[in-house]
Structure 1
Amino acid sequence: MQRLLFILCCFSISSFAQQIRVVDAYTNKEIEGVEVENINLKKKKITNKFGLVIFKNLQSETVLSLEHQNYNNLEITYRDSDGIIFLEPTSEGLESVVLSVSRVAEKKQSIPEHIEIVARKEIDYISPQTSADLLANIPGIRVQKSQFGGGSPVIRGMESNRVLLVVDGVRMNNAIYRNGHLQNSISVSPFVLERTEVVFGPASVTYGSDALGGVVHYYTKNINYTKKLNLKNQVFYRNSTVNNEHSTSFSTQVSHQKWASLTNVSYSSFDDLKMGKNRIHGYEDWGKVYQYSQNTSKDYYSSSTINPNPNIQKNTGYHQLDLMQKFMMPIHQKIDLILNGQFSTTNDIPNFGKLNDYKNNDLKFAEWYYGPQERLFVSAQAKFKDYKSVLKNGAITLAYQNILESRINRNFGSLDRTSRFEEVDVFSLNSDFFIPMGVSKKNKLFYGLELVHNNVNSSAKGETLSFSGNKITGVTNNYIADTRYPDGGSTYSSAAIYTSYRQELSKKHIVNAGLRLTSTLLSANWNQNVSINIPNNQLRLNNMALTGSLGYIFKPYPTDKISVVLSKGFRAPNVDDVGKIRSKSGKLTVPNTGLQPEHLYSAEIGFAKNLLAYKFYFDSNIYYTLLDNYIGRAQSTEFGTSINYDGDTFEDENILANTNIGKAAIYGATVSSNWEFLKDVKINGGITYTKGISYENEEPLSSIPPLFGNISLGFYKKMFNLALNYRFSMAKKLKGYNLTEGIDNIDETPNEEGTPNWSVLNFNSNYHFSKNLRIQFQIQNILDLHYKEFASSISAPGRNLSVAVAYSF
């Protein structure tokens, strides 16, 4: 009889009560201590250690509000929750979840490395035009631009092939990532990003070669299963005045018990960029564009054209199309298969810096543009959760990437057009797993392997054009042109295994240690050489490196973290390092058949603290990096002291090659904080100092930015927010420039004296009319000041009014 009454009681409760489970969106772990409020009835409950709360008589339209100090607030209807609610961790404080360091979700307080995280909510708030613009808002990162269609992130004084770009666990860096300035970061659309994580300093144990200055890891939007068929759509549109931007994005998510899908299509159109008018730096003509070329692939003009408005930077506009498709389904009770396809393409992107080069008091180039830059990405990832044996928890990712690049140029006064084409196919396999260890399962053993193969095809053609009036009508002659990379084809392969271990000695002490063994093989072949002669027309390089890291965390209090990291990284020369031929700023870069890997030794100390009931967060990091056998550009005589290339003659010190120079050091510090000093009012900011010197020639290193930072004051409510942001950079004096390599672009500074200091003020606002409709209004560079980022060819945008609308349904 008692058993019958118990069953009837349980049945009665289940008939009128609904259970809600709250979990972490990244770790899928239950969250204790979440305040869940039934807005309709004004009733609040707290989740237990299993992440559960129980309400009675919830209706489909009942609105639930969830709050937790370490997670973003959320409002959701019971119908949309489907019984499970995913909360996203905030990007502030020690409790943030980090995905990139060990390639699995972990608490930030357990990781000694310096990490910055930008989650989806903040990405929406920043509303960047490109992913490069997103990075420029992260403390400790500076972004260089040679043209508007690009952006080269600089981390701890390193950029390009010394900074590793990763998307959804797959490295973007390939065999032709160069030393200088790279623009590939824009090929990942900001509209599809769930979060972006930046690991500062060498991360060679987990990521291998190239991860010297740091790792930028882009994570695209998550998809999850639901108990019943669920459909969510979002439309986004933005218009900006400074370059007449029109950006649109449409995404749709469909999910069910056994599958989930996400589709996104985005398109952006940018016209020529307007620079600021107010020149408080005192240089009246600096950066102004008085002449420009109207030449295109189809139009012919024999001379340059006068620009009616020199503040308009002609030949900076471009268009970009991005597509993404994700699909997830279970292939086992504990294994999910995620298929991921991404495609990005542009129209021809003018090289603004080149198109403003002068020769004999007139523009040098009639044409200089990048052909459509295309990136195709396809991956299949099997995610294991609590499986068995060595496949306990982790993922296996098989990926293919195809990258197309081209460079087309023609001088004024010439009908000879030279076109160079590059195609890179990248095949990769990543296996990343961990096993919880010890009685408490808080210790973790990480292990994995990575196999990557790059196939590079480089071709070139020379054409003598014919024209009629202002139209190009055809080709009268063909001539042989040098390829940018070896024309017989190149390959670059790497194989690596790694392991690391995290031991929680006590609640106050955590030790991390890891090792990685990497082997690389490079092969390059030349069929014909126009300007130089390569011995035996081939090159083979085989390198092996053992890298490691040792980290220690001391937490004297739950709100504090003191960390120390010692690490060794390396970068093996790629095809661009050893086989490239190019000219820039009156200097010619030629191959180096004897180039060796560069190694890095780093030490850093960090201190982070939460105060005032987690309302104030402070983070600081100091580091010292020693580069051994570092690769830089230096004078080369391997192929003679006089070389004719693309109609120009280069001699002696104007002939350079990537060379192992010796030892160099980079050191610096970053400090950032976030303080909610009044209810809903926050102030946050950061400042970064970097210094770099070559011990061999006592010359400053390239890419070392001046002191820079930002500070923001904002008012944040559930339905709207307002913020003022102040960004600044100190001057970069001439004595701080590297004048040998040409990477710092001293010719882009006024009178070649260095880059003046600058500061700009920005305003940002967001208003949620409802849970489905959001309006954003921004004013950037409010005072319309003229300035250039250090080493950039293009002037920064002037005053910009931007309006954006996002609607979900």
Structure 2
Amino acid sequence: MRNTVLTGLFLILSIYAYPQQITVVSAIDNRPLFNVAIYNEDRSKSALTDFDGIADISAFEENEILHFQHISHHLLTTTKIKILSNNTTVILQADDNQLNEIVLSVSKFQQKKKDIPQQIVSLTSEDIIIANPQTSADLLESSGKVFVQKSQLGGGSPMIRGFSTNRLLIAVDGVRMNTAIFRSGNLQNVISIDPFLIDRTEIILGPGSVIYGSDAVGGVTNFYTKTPGFSSGEIQLLSLNATTRYASANEEKTGHVDFAFGGRNWSSLTSITYTDFEDLRMGSNGPTEYLRPDFQTTINGEDVMAENENPRIQKFTGYDQINLAQKLRYLSSQDWELKLGVLFSTTSDFPRYDRLIRKQDGEFRSAEWFYGPQTWLSANIQANHSRLKLLYDNMKWSYAYQFFEESRNDRDFGGNDFFQSQEQVDAHELSVDFTKKLKERTNVFYGLQSVLNTVGSKASVKNIDTQTVQPDQSRYPNDSHWISAAAYASIQSKLHPKLTVLSGLRYNFIHIDAMFDDSFIDFPFEEMNINTGALTGNAGLAWNVNQGLSWKLNFSTAFRAPNIDDVGKVFDLAEGFVVVPNPDLKPEKAYNAELGFQLQASKALAFDVAAYYTILDNAFIRRDFELNGEDMIEFQGELSQVQAIQNASEARVYGVEAGAKLRFTPHLTLLSQINVTKGVSKENGEEFPLRHAAPAFGNTHFTFKNKKFLLDVFSEYSGGFSFEELAPTEQEKPYLYAIDDNGDPFSPSWYTLNFISRYNFTSNWSASATLENITDQRYRTYSSGIAAAGRNLILAVNYSF
């Protein structure tokens, strides 16, 4: 009796002597659960767990009954005193195996993937570790749902559902990366994102304009970076992760380290990555047109053509890159969390390989063509407030500043004029997002967003003989502005436990102002002021018929407002052509419908299929134009045909995405997926293939995995395009393609066989070995300017604690 009394007294003293913090974890893998709602019987008191599953329950009475509710777990009801007597840990059971089916991108708040009518691809931290990508573009390609084009080794332009470049939106931690100078030509900005820093990637297939605004026409890729954790005890949390990697095809040498510290209410994460790439070696079996038999060099001030000792080495493709990151978190109270993230990336100069292999009359057209350092700085401050209030349950406030810098540098073969253009963008974004539960089965998401981009642009021409430098026509109007302001709201309602409806609207206002310098070109206007707007929406339903079958139906609209690149750019497109500004552009509008289903035929076998159809109205396209009534002007000393971006086209894109998963044993799995896209552009009653509609592509993985060892044997493959199936702009680039029997360019089909192996020696040490392109195929992905890697051995070692 005495011992019982003493035990009870000790328990009571313990409860009141220490902070009443508890940790909520999942029964599946014992990982902390974020955003678990804790409330009493009449909901007069509540709390929410933070990102480390920690919540303070001091506000609740000792014998009060508490309810624990989480989006992917079963409801748990217990008492406070029972929790505190059980090592202050609460374990929740997973609901319908949906633990890994939570997404953030669709509303910026947690939602069950099964209740969202759109098609979402999620790449978890485990997927990223297994893929071990060289760049973030390679990570997207590994998903099997994104086709990636590369103009050079330092590149990677995603294609999703027939759209690419500025018709796709890239976001990092919810902040848009797209700027006012994102162009319709292939982009490589995604390589600035450090794959070692990524914790999770979500890809929205199809329009996402209701949440993300302009540019989210074909899809949205959202990269979520690692977040440092808090300590649940008196001892500070300390973690370290270090990786070194080598790849044989481009002599890659990579080193990465990140380390984190965490106290009870503060934490810090620092990340450093350095990568050095040498010239890329292509495969030995494939079209001879891809070989590099010679290259340009300068000897004693004279441009000459030199023989390449190994034609499989793609001369002038190597570069190096540095990525730095610093993230801080502060928990000012149980309800308020502050986060600061600073990301920095810069490259060396990197040659544009597809421009360096162009020839005319057997001679190279360019002696030099390279991008200057691609620099990106992102500073993002976020405040999260989680408490049940009248207007919201959760609030996210964010301000982000980004700085982008890039340059283009080129000189004709045998020419004396070295042209350089340099662009800078200062991007500011302010947003606030809310979520509110109206009823037990109804949630509202709403918010405001404003974006300001200021574009700086300058150009010069240098005579390499005399070293004199003269100003030249800048690519964009200097000190021009692109401004966006928007408000959105969406509602998710469960009409039935098996039927969820999600719909939303967004209004976006866009303003552009620019001043034009007529020192080099006589523009018919001195300034440009454009005001435009767009109302977009979506409506869809997710019908979970039973645990084995679900249907998704979605209708959505999207838009892309003209940016500075569309309306204000001046550049020499090709020999004899010059692109000039057009202030009369209107927004592109997209209308999309998609239907999909998922079938869990048995515990071992699952299928998923989705079909979509998208119409792009008022599509931007580059066509002949007149400036001051003239269709030819002199530009950089050459008489050139005038062209401009115009609303002169309508595009239709349709396709099917399918996947299958067969689990032979708990350790052995077969996964396969295929994507088929068709796209046509209609102009003046004629139809042409759409440039960014990729050929059919997919991958198949055969994976064995246990606690210590992983082996993934897989194949990646792509269909091809005949000359007639190429878009007209691609038919004009024979230097990118193989040549058919008629002497016309075409894009051949290709495949690769590969394997990945990974072994965990201890809880701290692991190593991986990957052999890509085992059969040493020589191939180029569609529209790419560089051939892919030949047989490639990748070795990596990782240490973490």
Same fold (TM over 0.5): yes
Preserved CA contact (<8 Å) 2:421 2:460? yes
Change (3 A) 1:385 1:88: farther
Preserved CA contact (<8 Å) 1:89 1:97? no
Preserved CA contact (<8 Å) 1:744 1:791? no
Equivalent residue letter for 1:495: A
Change (3 A) 1:712 1:783: same
Q: Corresponding residue for 1:720?
A: 709
Q: Corresponding residue for 2:279?
A: 272
Preserved CA contact (<8 Å) 1:521 1:542? yes
2:787 to 760, 780, 795: 795
Q: Corresponding residue for 2:359?
A: 358
Change (3 A) 1:465 1:92: farther
Distance in 2 of aligned mates of 1:310 and 1:547: 51
Equivalent residue letter for 1:204: S
Distance in 1 of aligned mates of 2:14 and 2:476: 72
- Does the residue aligned with 2:128 lie in a helix, a strand or coil? helix
Are 1:753 and 2:745 an aligned pair?
yes
Distance in 2 of aligned mates of 1:324 and 1:83: 34
Distance in 2 of aligned mates of 1:403 and 1:10: 58
Distance in 1 of aligned mates of 2:672 and 2:488: 36
Are 1:195 and 2:200 an aligned pair?
yes
Q: Corresponding residue for 1:664?
A: 651
Equivalent residue letter for 1:414: G
1:508 shift after superposition = 1.2
Equivalent residue letter for 2:796: A
Preserved CA contact (<8 Å) 2:297 2:303? no
Unaligned runs of 5+ in 1: 32-50, 53-69, 72-81, 467-474
Q: Corresponding residue for 1:469?
A: none
2:725 to 736, 758, 768: 736
Are 1:402 and 2:407 an aligned pair?
no
Preserved CA contact (<8 Å) 2:180 2:565? yes
1:611 shift after superposition = 4.0
- Does the residue aligned with 2:690 lie in a helix, a strand or coil? coil
1:300 shift after superposition = 5.1
Equivalent residue letter for 1:642: M
CA deviation vs aligned residue, 1:273-294 (integer Å, no higher than 9, x gap): 0000112xxx3x2111122234
Preserved CA contact (<8 Å) 2:407 2:421? yes
Q: Corresponding residue for 2:476?
A: 485
Preserved CA contact (<8 Å) 2:358 2:735? no
Are 1:134 and 2:139 an aligned pair?
yes
Distance in 2 of aligned mates of 1:476 and 1:672: 59
Query: 225-234 vs 585-594, which deviates more?
Result: 585-594
Q: Percent identity?
A: 36
Q: Corresponding residue for 1:519?
A: 509
Are 1:450 and 2:446 an aligned pair?
no
How is 1:265-344 mapped onto 2 (pairs within 5 angstroms)? 265-279=272-286, 283=287, 285-294=288-297, 301-344=302-345
Q: Corresponding residue for 2:544?
A: 555
Q: Corresponding residue for 2:76?
A: none
Distance in 1 of aligned mates of 2:93 and 2:512: 42
Distance in 1 of aligned mates of 2:306 and 2:706: 51
Change (3 A) 1:692 1:94: farther
1:609 to 585, 588, 599: 599
- Does the residue aligned with 2:566 lie in a helix, a strand or coil? helix
Change (3 A) 1:20 1:205: closer
- Does the residue aligned with 2:290 lie in a helix, a strand or coil? coil
1:767 shift after superposition = 0.3
Are 1:567 and 2:568 an aligned pair?
no
1:361 shift after superposition = 1.6
Change (3 A) 1:301 1:384: farther
Distance in 2 of aligned mates of 1:153 and 1:88: 38
1:111 shift after superposition = 0.7
Distance in 1 of aligned mates of 2:91 and 2:476: 48
CA deviation vs aligned residue, 1:333-360 (integer Å, no higher than 9, x gap): 3010000000000000101011111133
Preserved CA contact (<8 Å) 2:282 2:778? yes
Distance in 2 of aligned mates of 1:264 and 1:348: 23
Q: Corresponding residue for 1:650?
A: 640
Distance in 2 of aligned mates of 1:595 and 1:399: 29
1:702 shift after superposition = 1.2
Change (3 A) 1:109 1:90: same
CA deviation vs aligned residue, 1:181-233 (integer Å, no higher than 9, x gap): 11100000001000110001011101100000000000000222112301101
Unaligned runs of 5+ in 2: 39-52, 55-71, 74-86
Equivalent residue letter for 1:389: L
Aligned-pair RMSD on alpha carbons?
2.8
CA deviation vs aligned residue, 1:600-628 (integer Å, no higher than 9, x gap): 10000011133433x43322110000111
Distance in 1 of aligned mates of 2:177 and 2:699: 29
1:629 to 580, 605, 618: 618
Change (3 A) 1:357 1:680: same
Are 1:699 and 2:688 an aligned pair?
yes
Change (3 A) 1:230 1:446: same
- Does the residue aligned with 2:303 lie in a helix, a strand or coil? coil
1:413 shift after superposition = 1.4
Distance in 1 of aligned mates of 2:761 and 2:12: 41
Change (3 A) 1:385 1:94: closer
Change (3 A) 1:20 1:405: closer
Distance in 1 of aligned mates of 2:367 and 2:357: 10
1:304 shift after superposition = 2.8
1:526 shift after superposition = 1.2
CA deviation vs aligned residue, 1:612-664 (integer Å, no higher than 9, x gap): 33x4332211000011111112222235222333444323xxx4321111422
- Does the residue aligned with 1:354 lie in a helix, a strand or coil? helix
Q: Corresponding residue for 1:235?
A: 242
Equivalent residue letter for 2:494: E
Are 1:772 and 2:764 an aligned pair?
yes
Q: Kindly tell me the number of residue pairs found equivalent between the two proteins.
A: 738
1:585 shift after superposition = 4.3
Q: Corresponding residue for 2:78?
A: none
1:577 shift after superposition = 0.7
Preserved CA contact (<8 Å) 2:24 2:33? no
1:362 shift after superposition = 1.2
Distance in 2 of aligned mates of 1:716 and 1:121: 12
Equivalent residue letter for 2:535: L
Q: Corresponding residue for 2:372?
A: 371
Change (3 A) 1:200 1:89: farther
Distance in 2 of aligned mates of 1:12 and 1:682: 52
Change (3 A) 1:444 1:486: same
Distance in 2 of aligned mates of 1:12 and 1:559: 50
1:744 shift after superposition = 8.4
1:591 shift after superposition = 1.9
Preserved CA contact (<8 Å) 2:240 2:258? yes
Distance in 1 of aligned mates of 2:353 and 2:290: 11
